[in-house]
Amino acid sequence: MSQSPSLPAPDPWSSLRAATPARIGLGRAGDAPDLASVLAFQMAHAQARDAVHAPLDLVALQARLEGRPVLTLRSRAPDRATYLRRPDLGRRLHAEDAAALVPGAWDAVFILADGLSATAVQRHAVPLLEATLERLPGWKIGPVVLATQARVALSDEIGAGLGASLAVMLVGERPGLSVADSLGVYLTHGPRPGRRDSERNCISNIHTSGGLSYAAAATKLAWLMTEARRLGLTGIGLKDEMPALAAAEPPALG
């Protein structure tokens, strides 16, 4: 009497893999990971490297901003290799670009900066900017700044030069082997050279592959900006105590 073939045992790791992008319970081929796991790792590594080294497409970004006034600025890092070796140069504005900063009575200025993942800025910065502006009726917003070879502290010099009360930098975060296009936001009240990291607020992990959504990030950012203006500060003195919202929708106008 023939016996029916036995079914393979259920994979005990499957439920855990569904809960995290971390590489857990990988298959084996002898004493090494299986081919699928190796190829997936190599792909993730290549995507992370591409995100770091890809140039920001300024023309495409400006086209997506749909006629908003735009300034294109550079840091003092002349190229990507120098930017990666000399973080200090990415924190200072190029001397020739300082003349483009004309002070105005701006409540806030938004800076879209390549940071360590131009891919993240290319994909997510404009949708997040538009969603945030919908939630800031009545605010005086300065020209949108596109900054290349930029570190977070570059927003201090830019915000001070434009006379903005708040500098908001949307910047590409350091890519990892799970996500290569994660966007971060850094908010600074009273921007000026010399501001410390403890004087900023940060929202991170904004992307469309299981990260913070544009709507949720924009709602949180608009709340932080409103509180920063009310309190006259950002950083450790501004606690993220935003009330829980049923839906991240912009406030009704009128």
Name which of 145, 146, 235 is nearest 190 in CA terms.
Answer: 235
Specify the CATH number for the domain of residue 206: 3.40.50.11240
- Mean pLDDT computed over 26-41: 83
Number of folded domains in the chain?
1
- What is the sign of the dihedral through the CA atoms of 28, 30, 31 and 36? negative
Question: pLDDT by residue (tens digit) across 118-135?
Answer: 999 999 999 999 999 999
Model confidence at 185, pLDDT cuts 50, 70, 90, reads very high
- Identify whether 98 is part of a domain: yes
Show the domain range for 84. Answer: 53-231
Per-residue pLDDT at 53: 87
**7 or 133: which leads in pLDDT:** 133
- Identify whether 237 is part of a domain: no
Q: Report residue 251: phi and psi, to 5°.
A: -65, 150
CA distances from 216 to 93, 142, 221 (A): 31, 23, 9
- Identify whether 47 is part of a domain: no
Q: Count of alpha carbons within 13 Å of 21, Cβ hemisphere only?
A: 11
- Identify whether 116 is part of a domain: yes
Residue 248: pLDDT over 60:
no
- Identify whether 120 is part of a domain: yes
- Tokens representing 26 are 């990988």
- Identify whether 25 is part of a domain: no
DSSP code for 75:
B
Lowest mean pLDDT segment, chosen from 23-27, 83-87, 136-140, 224-228 = 23-27
- Identify whether 252 is part of a domain: no
Q: Report residue 238: phi and psi, to 5°.
A: -110, 100
- Identify whether 254 is part of a domain: no
Per-residue pLDDT at 210: 86
Per-residue pLDDT at 253: 41
